[in-house]
């Protein structure tokens, strides 16, 4: 079974040294029988040493592996440095205050933790892209599951943040007071914070079980070990396509639908704010547009590639060596783009928000004052508490800000 949402980077076209495909020129292109063998054996993208005299040429993938060995470690290294710095600041700031006052505070903290855990898997996949998997099967299973669980958790938390912001605005305007809206308000009350976050992590863990169970280390004909999730031969092409489509549905379309519905509703409600709040309203709308735009820009390309792979399982679309190579490179580039979302999350959800910036300034001033007090050998003066409000559904508010 494929990874839920996104497979570990080393699975994407980096291991196939040869594929038996017709050349781009000359004669009618027929889908090779070798593809049937590759898929039924469960390692899509792996070369199997089978001799077919009907197809005189093999699709050499050495250049694809060479590209991945340079491109993927570079991108993952940049994501690791930037993402660790940004998400660590978010976690440290909330840990410093020791108390999360709103649901959005909790969601942002858990989002930063999930991003950090996801980023910590990237060195393993960067090394695998450059030299193959050399860490054994148990660690292959563990890292694959960690990758899938935390990526799933990120997507679910993004949907929860959009719902909580909509409920915050509805509460401030006196809406969402009956039926489903009232039940959602109660569910997203601050007292239920641990229940909602536990449900999110439990769902993500459940979606990561297939990766833990099915990931294994195999040796390609190039002599390199590869950590990947294997398909059961009995699954068939249609079953594999269904799994691929399910990943796109759960990891992209459903979170996108939730964000679009709740943020559009919030945007319409913002138009009803008083004229004197027009400046705040426009700033809030810009944040909403940025949230949805960033999600689509980073996740859409890779999910398009995944859908194309799903169609190829059923309709055998890849019939030329050049097409196969292009698809491999597209998967590598678009998956790397999708991973940049965990680097941009703290920028968009925290540093762009004026309230978060204000809290960072207050914390910096507080540390500065304490340091000056220590230098003077005087006890630090008691300071006013810092408001950690993110204007969530668990708090009365008349504005909509991040």
pLDDT in tens, 212-258: 988 899 887 778 898 987 777 777 778 778 878 888 888 889 889 98
State the pLDDT at residue 400.
39
State the pLDDT at residue 333.
94
pTM of structure: 0.74
State the pLDDT at residue 42.
39
CA 85 to chain CA centroid, Å, is 17
pLDDT in tens, 348-393: 876 666 666 677 777 777 777 777 777 776 554 444 433 333 344 4
Furthest CA-CA distance within the chain = 87
What angle, rounded to 10 degrees, do the helices at 321-339 and 278-315 form? 150
DSSP letter, residue 379? P
What number is the average pLDDT over the span 294-305?
A: 91
Q: Which CATH number fits domain 9-376: 1.10.510.10, 3.40.50.720, 1.20.1070.10, 3.40.50.150?
A: 1.20.1070.10
Determine if residue 122 is left, alpha or beta; phi over 0 gives left, psi from -120 to 50 gives alpha, anything else beta: alpha
- 273: confidence class by pLDDT, cuts 50, 70, 90: low
Nearest of 324, 237, 305 to residue 19 by alpha carbon: 324
pLDDT at 201 over 70: yes
Tokens 């699954």 -> residue: 235
Q: First-to-last CA distance in the chain?
A: 38
DSSP letter, residue 345? H
pLDDT averaged over the chain?
Answer: 74
DSSP letters, 66-128, are HHHHHHHHHHHHHHHHHHHHHHHHHHHHHHHH----SHHHHHHHHHHHHHHHHHTTHHHHHHH
Greater model confidence, 183 or 55 = 183
State the pLDDT at residue 180.
57
Where would I find the beta strands (DSSP E) of 203-288? 215-219, 225-229
pLDDT at 269 over 80: no
State the pLDDT at residue 83.
93
pLDDT in tens, 40-64: 333 334 443 444 444 445 677 888 8
């Amino acid at each position: 079974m494929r990874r839920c949402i996104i497979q570990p980077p080393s699975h994407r076209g980096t291991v196939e040294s040869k594929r038996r495909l017709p050349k781009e020129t000359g004669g009618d292109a027929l889908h090779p029988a070798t593809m049937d063998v590759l898929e039924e054996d469960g390692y899509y993208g792996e070369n199997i040493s089978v001799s077919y005299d009907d197809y005189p040429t093999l699709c050499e993938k050495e250049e694809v592996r060479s590209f991945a060995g340079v491109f993927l470690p570079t991108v993952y290294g940049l994501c690791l440095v930037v993402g660790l710095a940004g998400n660590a600041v978010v976690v440290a700031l909330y840990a410093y205050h020791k108390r999360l006052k709103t649901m959005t505070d909790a969601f942002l903290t858990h989002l930063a933790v999930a991003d950090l855990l996801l980023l910590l898997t990237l060195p393993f996949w960067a090394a695998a892209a450059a030299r193959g998997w050399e860490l054994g099967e148990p660690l292959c299973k563990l890292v694959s599951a960690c990758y899938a669980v935390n990526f799933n958790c990120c997507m679910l938390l993004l949907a929860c943040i959009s719902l909580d912001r909509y409920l915050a605005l509805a509460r401030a305007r006196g809406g969402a007071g009956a039926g489903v809206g009232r039940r959602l308000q109660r569910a997203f009350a601050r007292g239920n914070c641990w229940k909602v976050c536990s449900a999110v992590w439990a769902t993500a863990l459940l979606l990561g079980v297939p990766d833990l169970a099915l990931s294994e280390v195999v040796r390609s004909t190039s002599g390199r070990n590869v950590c990947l999730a294997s398909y059961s031969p009995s699954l068939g092409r249609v079953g594999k396509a269904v799994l691929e489509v399910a990943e796109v549905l759960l990891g992209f379309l459903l979170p996108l639908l939730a964000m679009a519905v709740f943020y559009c509703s919030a945007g319409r409600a913002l138009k009803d704010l008083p004229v004197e709040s027009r400046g705040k309203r426009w700033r809030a709308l810009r944040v909403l547009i940025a949230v949805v735009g960033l999600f689509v820009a980073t996740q859409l390309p890779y999910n398009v590639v995944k859908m194309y792979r799903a169609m190829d399982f059923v309709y055998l679309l890849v019939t030329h060596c050049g097409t196969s190579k292009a698809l491999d490179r597209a998967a590598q580039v678009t998956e790397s783009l999708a991973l940049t979302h965990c680097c941009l999350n703290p920028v968009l959800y925290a540093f762009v928000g004026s309230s978060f910036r204000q809290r960072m300034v207050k914390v910096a001033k507080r540390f500065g004052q304490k340091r000056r007090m220590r230098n003077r050998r005087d006890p630090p003066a008691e300071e006013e508490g810092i408001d950690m409000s993110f204007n969530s559904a668990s708090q009365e508010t008349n504005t909509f800000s991040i």
